[in-house]
Amino acid sequence: MVSARGLEVLRAIVQDYVETREPVGSKSIVERHAFGVSAATIRNDMAMLEDEDLIAAPHTSSGRIPTDKGYRVFVDHLAEVRPLSPAQRTAIAAFLEAPGDLDDLMVRTVRALTQLTGQVAIVQYPSFAQAHVSHIELVGLDAGRMLVVIVTDTGRVSQRLVFLPRDPAEDEIVRLRAAIADLIVGRPIRDGAHAIAERLASAGGDHRSPDDAVIDVIAMTVAEELDEFRQDRLVMAGTANLARRESDFRGSIYPLLEAIEEQVTLMRLMGEMVADEHGLAASIGRENEPFGLAEASVVAGEYDASGARARVGVLGPTRMDYPSNLASVRAVARYLSRLLEEDEGAR
């Protein structure tokens, strides 16, 4: 059983190791922290922490470093999530000010978070399976090209370039837009996708109008976009930080790079993390072994987008500044929720 002072010694070891990258000994704890006891007493506390597998010696006769279990105890019981400084809050506001659309906001979010933390930043798109299509626009260009713009009531905007068999006239574009709008506008994403699938399945026959072939080309593109709306997606930034921090990982960073490239593993991990009452969650080191990411930790917070909850977080080595990263994730998640709420209120 670890004593209250022993847990405070663990806190000191975690904080000092994160700051210095060096194993922490009893003498440095006495010098850096006001425990009011001798180095011998601190050594006894450290021996108890080692018996509980909360700290370990990386080398013979060295100081101690936290284990994954030690980081877990620190995060659950000892870490104090500090408020961000005014300068940090101003930086978040500046990064996220007046985004063009949801895609732009997601990109700005990960850029802000990787700047704040120095880790790989991750943000999940909220699920749009229940969103409604609020608008579709067709913009004729030239050489048979048309821009298809789809907007949902959750603020998602999609733009796709379509190549048509011919250049439609202006009045024909109006008819084409009305035909597609009749299939999807005002309907949930899932229902709109189903209506388009039914139309494409029934294409053919002797009674097709000149517009039908063009409508089918546009409808196939719209169907692809609606299918993307229903899929889970991640946006990430700061992957280069893994290379800069490679020495902080016990083994190869290749599994992390592979997970970032594939995304599926990270989506599963982010989806299964258990949040506390503040919406914050951490998955540390070997807790991530089922996902092949035992070398890394993930810290995440929840944000709200019109009732759909998703996560924003950071990925990095187990030797990370958990209190600062938790504070950054919490602040960015709250700011993101507020922006999306304001955008919803403005529509």
Alpha-carbon distance 269 to 263, whole Å?
10
Helices (H) and strands (E) in the chain, counts: 13, 10
pTM (2 d.p.):
0.76
In angstroms, the Cα distances linking 72 to 67, 146, 315 are 9, 54, 16
Tokens representing residue 334 in the block: 């709250």
pLDDT in tens, 147-170: 999 998 877 788 999 998 888 888
d(CA 145, CA 35): 73
Q: What is the pLDDT of residue 228?
A: 77
Give the C-alpha separation, 102 to 157, whole Å.
7
In this predicted structure, what is the pLDDT of residue 315?
96
**pLDDT tens by residue, 83-119:** 899 999 999 999 988 888 888 899 999 999 999 999 9
Measured over the CA atoms of residue 122, residue 126, residue 129 and residue 134, the dihedral's sign is negative
CB 268 within 8 A of CB 142: no
Indicate the range of 156-160, 222-226, 263-267, 340-344 predicted with least confidence: 340-344
The whole-number pLDDT of residue 24 equals 95
Average the pLDDT over 213-240 and give the result.
86
Residue 346 has pLDDT above 70, yes or no: no
SS3 assignment, position 238: coil
- Where does the pLDDT of residue 343 fall: very low under 50, low under 70, confident under 90, or very high at 90 and above? low
Residue 214 Cα distances to 116, 138, 209, angstroms: 48, 12, 10
Cβ 193 vs Cβ 131: under 8 Å: no
- 64-73, 243-252, 325-334: which has the minimum mean pLDDT? 243-252
Say what the pLDDT of residue 131 is. 79
- In tens, the pLDDT along 244-276 reads 888 888 888 998 999 888 888 999 999 899 999
Is it the case that residue 130 has pLDDT exceeding 70? Answer: no
Distance in angstroms (rounded) separating the CA atoms of residues 131 and 277: 27
Listed residue (173, 178, 183, 158) closest to 214, CA to CA = 173
Record the tokens describing residue 210, joined without a space: 């000149």
User: What token pair was written down for 141?
Assistant: 């260009």
Alpha carbons within 13 angstroms on the beta-carbon side of residue 173 total 18
Mean pLDDT of the region 273-280? 90
Q: 300 pLDDT exceeds 90?
A: yes
Looking at residue 153, what is its pLDDT? 81
pLDDT score, position 55: 96
Predicted confidence band at 146 (pLDDT cuts at 50, 70, 90)?
very high
Give which of 345, 305, 311 is closest to 154, Cα–Cα: 305
What's the mean pLDDT when you consider all of the chain?
A: 89
pLDDT band at 204 (very low <50, low <70, confident <90, very high): low
Residue from 225, 134, 141 nearest 181 by CA? 134
DSSP string, 120-146: EEEEEPPP-TT-BEEEEEEEE-STTEE
Give the SS3 label for residue 281: strand
Write the CB contacts of 145 (distance below 8 Å, at least 6 apart in sequence).
161, 162, 163, 164
pLDDT band at 79 (very low <50, low <70, confident <90, very high): confident
List, in order of start, the domains of the chain with CATH numbers.
Answer: 4-78 (1.10.10.10), 86-126+232-346 (3.30.450.40), 133-229 (3.30.390.60)
The token duo for 72 is 């877990």
Query: Which amino acid type is present at position 250?
Result: R
The phi and psi torsions of 82 (rounded to 5 degrees) equal -80, 145
User: What confidence score (pLDDT) does residue 329 get?
Assistant: 96
- Across-strand partners of 151? 135, 157
